[in-house]
Every structure is written in structure tokens, then in C-alpha cells.
Structure 1
Amino acid sequence: MTVRHADRPRIALTAAIIHEDPERALFKGKALQFSEQKMAHAVWRGGGLPIQLLDLREKEALEQAIAGCDGLLLQGGADVAPVCYGEQPLRPEWGGDLIRDQHELAAIEVALALGKPILGICRGVQVLNVALGGSLYQDIETQVADSLVHRDWDRYEIIEHEVALERESWLGEAFRDHGRAGSSDGALTLLTNTIHHQSVNRVGISLAVSARAPDGVIEALEVIRADRWAVGVQWHPEWLDGSDEGGAHRTPGNPVFSRFAQVCRERAVGRT
């Protein structure tokens, strides 16, 4: 069913950033802010209207932009800087993107204050966790014993693993008709992609774990309350679009976006 334009909730997508680089030919090294194409397509396909949320370095601009939208979506991308959760990088290349972190942490604060629903994808669940007082593993392979391979540059979207959802969670409900029964603990099992080397360590205040990988790595967090709604998933559901490229045998990602759009729509009506 096609969703009419007037019925589509406006969903603000935080921008990924390519920072200034005098050696880069494109735009002669100027800073760029952008969205990955399939993310915008997934939001639209799910019934939302994607709106780019730019980092204008002004709190007033951020407040006005989020106030004019019905939900906030935190996209994937660069590492979260360890200094944001009180640590120093274990390696220089894990220093993260502090500029983007500061923008997204401020956006989360504004969205929570305004009662806007939040959805975090990959990096998004990590920065959401940090915003609520949690911490991260800077590198799963280094810090988590007996872990699966969660990211491989050469195989990238090819690698996959199962994810066990808590049936009584929001995600469990969203995927009720798409997952399959897991072990005797009542979990619902999905088959997803995996493209991350960092993950949630200490869980942030008010957040509950709603999914894990077979090695115990946290794959989803959520808090569902009358005054606060936030969900984050560690995989990339926007790439699980049913195409051969996205892995047609994997669990489709659309339920995340369609249910999030529904929540944004319902909560916007409630605020009105």
C-alpha cells in the first residue's frame, strides 16, 4: 500500500561527515555532509519522509529542525570517539569522529527533551548508548573473547550471523511474522548482515538489551515509555531490501522502518 505524502511522518536523518581534506579533489577538500542512499530509500519505503539533519553548529538550528520533524534516525558511519565515554583510544585509528559525536549527542538530547522517537542504526545504537551513559567495546576482536567476525572489509556485506530477539521487546513484535523460533528460551531468531567492529559494552541508563549475537555481543537496545522512545539495532536493515545484493535469504529489514514510521506518526498525533 502506498502511503500518501500527507500521512508520512518527517524523519530527520543525522548526516554522515567527510571532513575537510586538502588532498581530496571532490569539492576541493571541503567538508561534506550526506546520507547513504539506501537509508533514505528504506525510510521512504517504510512510510516516512526522510529529511537531512545537517550539523550547522548552532543549537537553535538543531532545536528548530528536530522540532519540525516527527522522529530522529541516527545513521551508521565512523567510530564513536572513546573520549565520549571516558576512555582513551586503544589505537590511534580508533579515535573516532568527535565532531560528529558532538552533533549527534546534542541531537539525541533535543529529541528526548521534545519526546521525539529515536531509531539508531549500527553506529546509531552505539552513540545512543553513550548518550545515555553507556560505554562501548572499542574493538570486538581485541576485547571480546571468542567473538565472531563482525566486520570484514573484503567480504563486507557478505558476512552474516543470527540475532536472537527478546520476544516481548518492540523488535520482537516488529519481526514476529518474519523471524523463526530459536532455542527453548523463547527468543526469535533473525539472519542479518554484520558490519561493525565496535559494540555496546556497559548499557546506558533506562536502556534494555533486546537482541544478541550468538557470541553474546549486544545487537539491539530499546527503551519504550510514554515519555521516551528509543530503539537501536547493530546491523544494517536498510541494506536488507530483498535484493540479491542485500542477501535475499536474510530477514528483511523493512519492519524496522515501517514500524518506526508508525510510531513517529502515532506519537506526533498524541502530541498534537
Structure 2
Amino acid sequence: MPDALLIGISARIYHPGEPVADTSGIFTKTLHYLEQSVAHWVLRRGVLPMMIPAIESEGLIRPGEVRLTDYARHLDALVLQGGNDVAPQTYGEEPLHPDWSGDRVRDRYEIGLFRAFVAAGKPVLGICRGCQLINVALGGTLYQDIATQVPEAIAHRDLVRYDQQFHPVNLVPDSRLAQLYDGTTRAEINSIHHQAIKTLGKDLAIEALGVPDGIVEAVRWRGPSYVFGMQWHPEFMAQRQFHPGQLDGEPILQDFLDAARERKHRTSNN
């Protein structure tokens, strides 16, 4: 597929626990991995998803000759997948609990990726943690734990039900997200997060709010390139047969891919 869209997907990172046993087992290694459901959600005719390995000069990972800006130059768009918490230090706070310390190595890597793709004018889509990362990269902050800091909020995560946890959201009227769904104002989404946007990053607009608690569920950048983040997981679509009222992720993906194609076409014609 010579004209295929090349969609980069940020890596999840597994860090070996401490102390690391003196063996050659896989769990003594730092792992970069891509969740299959995300890859399959993006994968289709004319689209090739690929994981971008983390590269940084601090922490566990040592840089090679390749820079993150090289990926932004050669790839057509970026998906920031879900995973571990964003570290509170990344947005100027200290963890309120040791379990919420997050992953600063991944934060630095993904913020670097985000800035490289935005600087190149390439579309960026954030899923769950990816939505939060976009907000933090643009100067916003997060609730470290919704249940603790917003006690009146509904449950946004159930470790037993996991991807079968749902709640309604209101789509902001006249937003791009509402337009993708023919003016729909309310829908149901899956919910697998205990952190959420507290203060908005620079030039971000809210496009969906949780019902009834008003937790921010989707944001879009008002800058010159495509940047959209959602708290839900559109890649978990197999469950639609069991929960048909869930918001279909296909219009969001098509809008993102259309933006990537338009950007690629404009660049190739210059």
C-alpha cells in the first residue's frame, strides 16, 4: 500500500518491579507494548498502525540516533493510547497517595511525541490516559482520584465490571463531536478511569461532560491542527452487541483519519 496512512501509536511501558531478580525472565525487562484492541480499531484498508518506541535521555530508556521529531516527520498522525496514570509531578503536584504516582518516564515521552506531531501539523487523538496527557501537555491539571477529590461524582471505574462499566454523557451542542453524531446531545460511553481533567489546558474546548456529575469526558484543541481527546475507549467495540446504546466510535475514527489524509494530501501537493 504505497499511499497508506501511517498512524503512530504511543507505547505502553512496563517497568520491572524492584528489586529485579537476577534472571533473564521477561518481567525483568522494560517492555514497550501496544494493546491489540487499539491496533485493530485503527487498522483497516489503506491504514497501517505502528507502535512508536519510547526514546528519552532520562530514566530507564536511552536514546539512539532517532528522535521523536523523526517519527512526526514520517508518520501521518498520532494516537495516544490508554494505560498508567499521568504522574502528578508532570502537572506540578505531588501524589496524594502512593498508588497515584503514575509514570513520569512515559509522561515525558508522550508529551515529547505530542509536541512533535503538533509542531508538524499532524493530527493527534487521545484515548483515556491520552486525553489526560493532551490536557497536561497544554498546561492543564488532573484530579488524581475522582472518588477522593470529587466525592459527589458517580463511579467512573469498576475494576470488576471494567469495560462493562457505562454512564451517559452530554455532547456539547454545535461542537464537532455533536456534529459527527447528527446533533446527538446525549449518549452512553464505557468508563475505565479514576483520574480526570480538573483545569483545562490552553485553548482546549470541552466537547462532552459526564452525567450527572459534569466530569470532562472529551476535549478538542482550538489551535491550527487536529487534536481531540476522549476519556472512553472506542476500541472496546465488541461489547456493543451486549450494550447497543454505547456511542459508536467509528465516526470519531473516520474524522481523525480524514484529517490525516487531508494533511498528507496538502503536504504532498506543496
The TM-score normalised by the length of structure 2 is: 0.89
1:191 maps to 2:188:
yes
| In structure 2, C-alpha distance between the alignment counterparts of 1:114 and 1:201, rounded to whole Å | 28
Counterpart CA distance in 2 for 1:242 and 1:173 is 24
Task: Tell me what 2:59 maps to.
Answer: none
**For residue 50 of structure 1, what is the aligned residue in structure 2?**
49
Identity among equivalent positions (%) equals 39
Pair 1:126-2:122 in alignment: no
Alpha-carbon distance between aligned partners in 2 of 1:7 and 1:52, rounded to the nearest angstrom? 19
Say whether the 8 Å CA contact 2:166–2:191 is kept in structure 1.
yes
Taking the aligned partners of 1:28 and 1:262, their CA distance within structure 2 comes to: 39
Greater shift after overlay, 141-150 or 40-49? 40-49
Select 2:221's aligned residue among 208, 223, 226: 223
CA contact (8 A) 1:161 1:192 kept: yes
Which amino acid letter does the alignment assign opposite residue 191 of structure 1?
Answer: E
> Structure 1 counterpart of 2:35, which letter?
E
Are the aligned partners of 2:205 and 2:220 in contact in 1 as well (CA < 8 Å)? yes
Give the equivalent residue in structure 2 for 1:101.
107
Which among 254, 260, 268 is matched to residue 256 of structure 2?
Answer: 260
Give the direction of change, closer, same or farther, for the CA distance of 1:158–1:46 in structure 2 (3 Å limit).
farther
C-alpha distance in 1, partners of 2:177/2:106?
A: 27
Which residue number corresponds to residue 60 of structure 2? Answer: none
Query: What is the CA–CA distance in structure 2 between the aligned matches of 1:164 and 1:205, rounded to whole Å?
Result: 22
Whether 2:167 is the aligned partner of 1:168: answer: no
Instruction: Give the alignment's TM-score, normalised by structure 1.
Output: 0.88
CA distance in 2, matches of 1:106, 1:252: 30
CA deviations on 1:94-148 (whole Å, 9 max, x unpaired) are 0000010010011111111111111000000101000000000000001113101
Answer yes or no: is the 8 Å Cα contact 1:239–1:253 preserved in 2. Answer: no
Aligned 8 A contact 1:17 1:100 in 2: yes
1:132-178 deviation line (CA, Å, top 9, x unaligned): 000000000011131010001011111101111123222122222xx
Amino acid at match of 1:33: H
Which is further off, 229-238 or 37-46?
A: 37-46
Change (3 A) 1:218 1:28: closer
Is 1:212 paired with 2:209?
A: yes
Find the residue that maps to 2:235 and give its secondary structure: helix
Q: Mind listing any 5+ residue stretches in structure 1 that lack a counterpart?
A: 181-187
Retained in 1: the 8 A contact 2:203–2:222?
no
CA change 1:28–1:216 in 2 (3 A) is closer
- For the pair 1:15 / 2:21, whether they are aligned, the reply is no
In structure 2, the partner of 1:185 is none
Instruction: Measure, in 1, the Cα distance between the counterparts of 2:151 and 2:99.
Output: 21
Q: 8 Å contact 2:13–2:30 — kept in the other structure?
A: yes
The answer to whether the 8 A contact 1:76-1:121 is kept is yes
User: Offset at 1:228?
Assistant: 2.4
- Could you say if the C-alpha distance between residues 91 and 15 of structure 1 is closer, same or farther in structure 2, counting changes exceeding 3 Å? same
* Structure 1 consecutive aligned stretches of length 4 or more whose deviation exceeds 4 Å: 23-26
Aligned to 1:68: 74
| Separation in 2, partners of 1:221, 1:242 | 24
Aligned-residue RMSD, C-alpha: 2.0
Shift in Å, 1:224: 4.3
Shift of 1:233: 0.2
Residues in 2 aligned to 1:151 and 1:54: alpha-carbon distance in whole angstroms: 29
Q: Specify the SS of the correspondent of 1:208.
A: strand
Show the counterpart of 2:157. Answer: 151
The one-letter code sitting in structure 2 at the alignment partner of 1:233 is: M
Q: How many angstroms apart in 1 are the aligned matches of 2:108 and 2:28? A: 22
1:238 matched to which residue of 2?
235
Amino acid in structure 2 at the alignment position of 1:20: P
SS of structure 2 residue aligned to 1:263: helix
Cα contact 2:166–2:189 (8 A) shared by 1: yes
Task: Name the structure 2 match of 1:183.
Answer: none
1:271 correspondence with 2:267: yes
| Higher RCO, Cα 8 Å, sep 6+ | 1
How many residue pairs match? The answer is 257
Helix, strand or coil for the counterpart of 1:201?
Answer: strand
Change (3 A) 1:204 1:144: same
